[in-house]
Amino acid sequence: MTPRRKTHQVNVGGVLIGGDAPVSIQSMTSTYTYEIDKTVAQIRTMAEAGCDLVRVAVPQKRDTDALRSIIDQSPVPIIADVHYHFERALESLDAGVHKIRLNPGNIKDRKQVDRVIAACRDRGVPIRVGVNEGSVVERTDKDRRAAQQSAIRENPHDRLVQLMVDTLEDYLRIFEENDFRDVVLSLKSIDATIVIDAYRAASRRFDLPLHLGLTHAGPPETGTIRSIASLGALLADGVGDTIRISYAADPIYEVEHARELLCSLRLRDRVEPELIACPTCGRIEIDLIKLVADVRQKLVGIKTPVKVAIMGCVVNGPGEAEGADVAIFAGKGRGIIYVQGEQTRTVMEADMLDALYDECLKFAARVERGEATLTGRSVHIVPPD
């Protein structure tokens, strides 16, 4: 892991982005913002799952009218997502929003952008300035558009990355001329390789905090891989200050996957159990996949980061259990449970779920009472060749 690149720090309603602040998780509601109760309910669910910041769309006046009530009830800072209508940004600021997401490219009147920047400065509210792969090609100037498209056809990847970073630089000039520094940057694409290279280039060129995201990833079933591949590569490089995974699904998946990504890269401490399981093979003699699914569900209630390992046999040796706080090694119709490397009991297959859960509960309680400490070590489960 490369150490985090230090960026200018901004404060979003008490959540710091950039500098030495931990990488924060953000997501976006899928409700109509003017439906206050539904929006607040979704924000609360996202916050409980570990979301630090929530963005809401404000396409209409009735959305910004709802913002004050939403902000009052929200457990986390709220970001207003503004496109085309600068008035929505001003109304959101009046409602007390903590950050504005703005694309100066779709607010054509420079004076309107200046007004939003001035209002943000007055209130100490940062702005995210984003470019998306789909919106960087010139739309109005036909000659310029043709030249850009021709360049992209020649070398699609490099030209697109360059165009995204150059467009962002053009936008940033507006903020520099307004002497406004509290800016977070994003450069999104549906292509993981463009995301990686665009953010790497931006990281070299700007010292502002970066909001990482791969846009329009699709459903979690397919979007997870490209999202984690790109965001994981950047975070491992020390690039990125806040992340948003975006799926065509309930935003709770975005938050859960973002949290798992940060925990896996040790950029965030776990607060819940970590479950490790073998992939199964021809040696398996129990229904391990069902056991893993059942244990995963049961562990949800435990709020201690106990490391739990479920292994289909003892091929890799009980020594593997030393890295887990609680582990089970299954055999023919039965399993041996270990707690921090000590064998505690042998149970029949029908009792594995309850027994393993019981050991997890007891161990978590001992940790809470200060009678035991978590191993804090990785468990290496090596399947046979």
Which residues in this chain contact ligand SF4 in the complex, by CB under 6 A? 278-281, 283-284, 311-313, 315-316, 383-384
| Nearer CB in complex with ligand SF4: 306/311 | 311
d(CA 112, CA 87): 8
| Nearer CB in complex with ligand SF4: 152/314 | 314
Smallest distance from ligand SF4 to CB 225, Å? 22
| Nearer CB in complex with ligand SF4: 50/312 | 312
Smallest distance from ligand SF4 to CB 339, Å? 19
Which of 359, 342, 343 lies closest to 351, judged by CA? 359
Smallest distance from ligand SF4 to CB 278, Å? 3
| Nearer CB in complex with ligand SF4: 29/316 | 316
Smallest distance from ligand SF4 to CB 385, Å? 10
Q: Which residues contact 204 (CB under 8 A, 6 or more apart)?
A: none
Smallest distance from ligand SF4 to CB 375, Å? 19
Smallest distance from ligand SF4 to CB 381, Å? 6
| 8 A C-beta contact, residue 314 and residue 335 | no
- Residue 26, classified by CB atoms within 10 Å of its CB into exposed (0-12), middle (13-18) or buried (19+), is buried
Dihedral class, residue 14 (left if φ above 0, else alpha if ψ from -120 to 50, else beta)? left
| Nearer CB in complex with ligand SF4: 68/283 | 283
| Nearer CB in complex with ligand SF4: 172/278 | 278
Residue 180 CB coordination number (10 Å): 18
Nearest-CB residue for ligand SF4: 312
| Separation of first and last alpha carbons in the chain | 28
| Nearer CB in complex with ligand SF4: 95/308 | 308
The neighbouring-strand residues paired with 275 are 308
| Nearer CB in complex with ligand SF4: 248/382 | 382
Smallest distance from ligand SF4 to CB 340, Å? 19
Residue 255: C-alpha distances to residues 42, 48, 64 (Å): 12, 10, 24
Smallest distance from ligand SF4 to CB 245, Å? 29
| Nearer CB in complex with ligand SF4: 60/280 | 280
| 8 A C-beta contact, residue 274 and residue 296 | no
Query: Which phi and psi angles does 28 have, rounded to 5°?
Result: -135, 140
Q: Which residues contact 252 (CB under 8 A, 6 or more apart)?
A: 45, 46, 49
d(CA 198, CA 194): 6
Helix axes 220-236, 192-205, angle to 10 degrees: 30
Smallest distance from ligand SF4 to CB 277, Å? 8
Which structure tokens are listed for 3?
A: 């150490």
Q: What is the largest CA-CA distance in the chain?
A: 76
Coil, strand or helix at 73? helix
